[in-house]
Structure 1
Amino acid sequence: MISNASSTEAHGADAQPNVLLDDFLAYTLALQQPAHTGAAAQGSCAQGQLRWVWLDDGVLQLGPVHTTCTTPSVLLSAGIHGDETAPLELLSRLVSDLAAGRATLACRLLVVLGNIGAMRAARRYLDDDLNRLFSGGYAEVPASREASRAAALEEAARQFFTAAQVAHPRGSRWHLDLHTAIRPSVFEQFALLPHTRTPVAPALVAWLGAARIAAVLLHTTKSRTYSHFSAQTCQARACTLELGQVRPFGQNDLTHFAATDTALRDLLAGYSPAAGAEGSPRVPRVFTVIDQITKHSEAFELLVAADVPNFTPFPQGTVLARDGAYRYVVQHEQERLVFPNPGVKPGLRAGLLVIEAPREALFALPGPAVSA
């Protein structure tokens, strides 16, 4: 559950190092917790310009001491898959810089480090994929160690955005869920936008361009990801960001994520994304989901190389998977395979199939959902 922090002011929070803010990732992995009835549960930082509140393991809220009805609210999450370490290190460094005044915060910020048990075990998840348990999916696996965490993270997002909802317009709510992919990718850094039956906000597209995101994948059906939950339930501008490839803790070169890091800091500081050389925002290449490969049993075979990159194209007629009588055959002139993973549990998605779409599709009202 999301804990209620103490209302007691933290005295001297700027005068001495605070391990919680200096290295929020290490603090979280060590399972440290501030005293709920003492001064350590909240305080001030950045020379008294910011307030912070520890809400739960891996859940930290920061914001300016003084806010107005136009102050945006931004949720940044990472580690929903425990082995995706680079975004965790990126967010922890960002928290440290904000607390020390080395970065500017002009919005309400909620930082969420997701599957802590899986992070500590260096695993993607313990029992069930956390990013398939939101929007109430956790109720279907009550014995799962991920179920209670999914419920807690839903509640954290709901409380955070509800506090902003009355006074703040919809456009001031953002959720960027940071990931890294299991496999390499033709487009190393790409975004997945949830299916909400509303056009994509131009401001989000401009931000993705500023972050040098090379491709955008448009979902065509509802899902149980964290970004879909925040988009659908909290009316946030939300997306899932794939920023590179999975690496163990300590083996990430964070300079590789410089464009995303700069774009995140600009968003938190209230800066508008820079326009392209022609004076208009950079727009990533656009792909839309047209189908998925489903693993029906343990006899499932994914008929592609074990190291095939995301977005690899396959021509019409190619058999990509089989499982008993089930076959997946490429129906379009060309389909690209994203997130191929034969190791999922039976009944789950073992790959997405996408085709390229006009960039104008980003700003059009989505059509009816298709099977995916």
Structure 2
Amino acid sequence: MNPFAPARDFLDLTLQGLTPQQAAWHTPALQAQWLGHGLLQLTPLAANSQQEQILLSTGIHGNETAPIEILNSIVNDLLAGTLPLACRILVVLGNIPAMQSGKRFVDYDMNRLFDGAHAKQPDASEARRAVALEQAASAFFATAPAGAPRRHYDLHTAIRGSVFERFAIYPFIHQRPHNREQLAWLRAADVDTVLLHSKPAATYSYYTSERCGADAFTLELGKARPFGQNDLTRFTGIEHALRELLSGQRQPAANPDISGIRLFKAKYDIIKHSGEFVLHLADDVENFTALPHGMTIAEDVEVRYVADGGEERILFPNPKVGVGLRAGIVIEPASLD
């Protein structure tokens, strides 16, 4: 029986804006609950109270389709019973109207609207969705067994190329230590570069990290392309790691080895202060491009950003953002304490 009929599967149901005939159902191995458009919770019938509680989100930007296709394939296999489920998961498909139209967003970048930032953009459709996704995450983790590990992997692809194709953003975690075991898991998933964020942000992963106590990461896994045009063989590392994790086949390392990971930290944001802002980088400059010492990176009215030291790199350069917003991040090498 197809619980999503007449749609093919969870993704098709979501893109068509349909509602399943039943909001809850069982397979021989798991319980499924449709919690709303783009929200599906799966719980193994033989649940272990100390097993990880995992939120898997994607489509926060609607044109980043490869992770959406991968996550949908995993959900299909879990429901079919061809992939066993060993932990409770919440699957989130984020910006549905943007997914339907093949756009990054409709009114406003959703990943700048979490942790209360949605109140500043009350007319944006993404603001209302951000509220719903915050509530879904909070409810999911609030019902997690005491002491069970909490994880959130927010899966993205980037709008530009990258010197290091796959990388993670580790949200600012205030006084908590960085989780070395999770960094080792990222390395096993072929994510070998990590930015350690140095301040709070309005991202989904920061929200779940700070408000829900999750080990949370924004994962940039390649280049954004339309549905059906992705070379999914380039994503085998993260797909294999997720399947292994969800099926309980992975054993956490007692002494995690993170020697193969490049670590960076944010040094400062490049802010677009006015319409006179100029970014002195090529339109197709890649993320993590090195910035030679003394180079003028950008300039604005009464402000110049100049590279210093020879070890800096650029991340997320975008001169087209609105005035007052971040037009890029200058980063530098980092290490864990």
Q: TM-score, normalised by structure 2?
A: 0.95
User: Could you tell me how far apart the structure 2 residues matched to 1:207 and 1:242 are?
Assistant: 15
Aligned to 1:41: 23
Aligned residues: 334
- Structure 2 residue 209 is the aligned partner of structure 1 residue 231: yes
- Structure 2 residue 10 is the aligned partner of structure 1 residue 24: yes
- Structure 2 residue 98 is the aligned partner of structure 1 residue 113: no
Counterpart secondary structure, 2:291 = strand
User: Could you tell me how far apart the structure 1 residues matched to 2:266 and 2:288 are?
Assistant: 12
Aligned residues of 2:87 and 2:247 also touching (Cα < 8 A): yes
Aligned to 1:242: 220
2:113 to 107, 129, 133: 133
Aligned to 1:284: 261
Aligned residues of 1:210 and 1:273 also touching (Cα < 8 A): no
Aligned to 2:37: 57
Aligned to 1:212: 190
Q: CA deviation at 1:298?
A: 2.8
Aligned to 2:239: 261
Aligned residues of 1:161 and 1:173 also touching (Cα < 8 A): yes
- Structure 2 residue 241 is the aligned partner of structure 1 residue 271: no
Q: CA deviation at 1:107?
A: 0.5
Moved runs in structure 1, 4+ residues, more than 6 A? Answer: none
Q: TM-score, normalised by structure 1?
A: 0.86
1:342 to 319, 323, 327: 319
Q: CA deviation at 1:183?
A: 0.8
User: Could you tell me how far apart the structure 1 residues matched to 2:82 and 2:324 are?
Assistant: 47
Aligned residues of 1:86 and 1:247 also touching (Cα < 8 A): yes
Aligned to 2:139: 159
User: Could you tell me how far apart the structure 2 residues matched to 1:268 and 1:82 are?
Assistant: 25
User: Could you tell me how far apart the structure 1 residues matched to 2:91 and 2:319 are?
Assistant: 32
Aligned residues of 2:4 and 2:20 also touching (Cα < 8 A): no
- Structure 2 residue 276 is the aligned partner of structure 1 residue 329: no
Aligned residues of 1:206 and 1:273 also touching (Cα < 8 A): no
Q: CA deviation at 1:203?
A: 2.0
**Identity score, percent:** 47
Q: Deviations over 1:229-274 (max 9, x none)?
A: 0000000010000000110111001111001001011111223368
Aligned to 2:79: 99
Q: CA deviation at 1:315?
A: 1.4
Q: CA deviation at 1:279?
A: 8.8
Long gaps (5+) in structure 2: none
User: Could you tell me how far apart the structure 1 residues matched to 2:23 and 2:134 are?
Assistant: 21
Counterpart secondary structure, 2:312 = strand
Q: Counterpart amino acid of 2:289?
A: T
Aligned to 2:63: 83
Matches within 5 A, 1:278-317: 280=257, 283-317=260-294
- Structure 2 residue 187 is the aligned partner of structure 1 residue 201: no
Q: CA deviation at 1:209?
A: 1.2
> Kindly tell me: are residues 124 and 112 of structure 1, through their superposed partners in 2, closer, same or farther at Cα, counting changes over 3 Å?
same
Counterpart secondary structure, 1:334 = coil
User: Could you tell me how far apart the structure 2 residues matched to 1:147 and 1:121 are?
Assistant: 18
Q: Deviations over 1:101-145 (max 9, x none)?
A: 121210000000001111112111111110011001101111111
Q: Counterpart amino acid of 2:265?
A: T
User: Could you tell me how far apart the structure 1 residues matched to 2:93 and 2:166 are?
Assistant: 20
Long gaps (5+) in structure 1: 1-15, 365-372
- Structure 2 residue 337 is the aligned partner of structure 1 residue 357: no
